[in-house]
Copies of this chain bind each other. A is one copy, B any other.
């Protein structure tokens, strides 16, 4: 194997696949990065066996030459050293060459590294997914769906299924749902050209967080394919493969109240900042509880009390209110997470009493839903 490659393009590819490489894997060769050279381009692969990422660098694209003098072959290099070496090389052109004894020579300017490598034959074969059963969506919309739901997954291993996000595609509606049983986040979008349906796909939250980081904010699309135990996200230069979680995701639709007793309309940012301030005194306490009170139909009062430290109270004007007066307590952290996930200027919050879950969604937009269980304090 031999090739000469543009360093900045190689660095970008390395950064992507490094997100799947862990130094703590039980399979030693997975601490390495696989490099495969073909005449049409270079493929980098990293995997921790839960997530596998392939990044492709074409030899030529849009009249630019990225890789030259390619002699085909493949090798596995230690991921602990390789990225730093490439990042710190003196020139933007890098020559990588492998001899018959698995010795890799990396040259750039007057610097020459000789590294011990491993045989690519020993690297596990990634499962190849059928791409017949797939659908496409814009990358920015997928990122938005991840951002609006993944924070609500459980971090506790007591119910492993809740550490993932449930993906459903039924009647050409794609829904992402996440819950840790104290709150729930849900986002739906229509998918026009879907030729598949599924209900019980659960993708680990960790996988979606890594996918979110790796996807560029482009106008391009991502192709999503699903099997029983794997999901593949494919973009122009990237294959992102994740295992799925085993088990049945709980039926969440009956948790969502269908009517409300108190309904307020408020500016998202103003409510977020006020709750953030009120939570400052509650740092210590596990649930970080704040109280919301509706003294009349033009303001709400947010307050918090910590006997040791002191108390805080603040009023905010609201845009509209309907229904009964309300006093309710909830976790400021859950409320802040929910409001940050809603990328709209105004929200509607619908309460059905101080002890029932309440629902937040953007004004005039029901496809995004955040649900929070209150805390008993009043």
Q: Is the CB of B308 within 8 A of A88?
A: no
Per a CB cutoff under 8 Å, which of B88, B115, B283 touches A273? B88
Q: Is the CB of B310 within 8 A of A90?
A: no
Query: At the interface, yes or no: A274 with Cβ under 8 Å from chain B?
Result: yes
> In the docked arrangement, what's the CA distance between A174 and B317, Å?
62
Which of A2-10, A78-86, A330-338 lies on the face that meets chain B?
A78-86
Residue of B nearest to A85 (CB): B280
Contact size class for A?
20 to 34
Per a CB cutoff under 8 Å, which of B112, B116, B314, B316 touches A112? B314
CB distance from A312 to the nearest CB of B (A): 5
Which residues from chain B contact A298 at a C-beta distance below 8 Å? none
A273-B88, A309-B116 as given contacts; A111 in contact with B314, CB under 8 Å: yes
Q: Is the CB of A113 within 8 A of B276?
A: no
Query: At the interface, yes or no: A114 with Cβ under 8 Å from chain B?
Result: yes
> In the docked arrangement, what's the CA distance between A115 and B88, Å?
51
Which residues from chain B contact A280 at a C-beta distance below 8 Å? 81, 84-85, 88
Which residues from chain B contact A104 at a C-beta distance below 8 Å? 310
Query: At the interface, yes or no: A89 with Cβ under 8 Å from chain B?
Result: yes
Q: Is the CB of A113 within 8 A of B316?
A: no
CB distance from A303 to the nearest CB of B (A): 10
Q: Is the CB of B313 within 8 A of A88?
A: no
Which residues from chain B contact A114 at a C-beta distance below 8 Å? 310-312
Q: Is the CB of B316 within 8 A of A110?
A: yes
Query: At the interface, yes or no: A281 with Cβ under 8 Å from chain B?
Result: yes
- By Cβ-Cβ distance, the 4 closest A-B pairs, closest first, are A115-B310, A111-B314, A113-B312, A114-B310
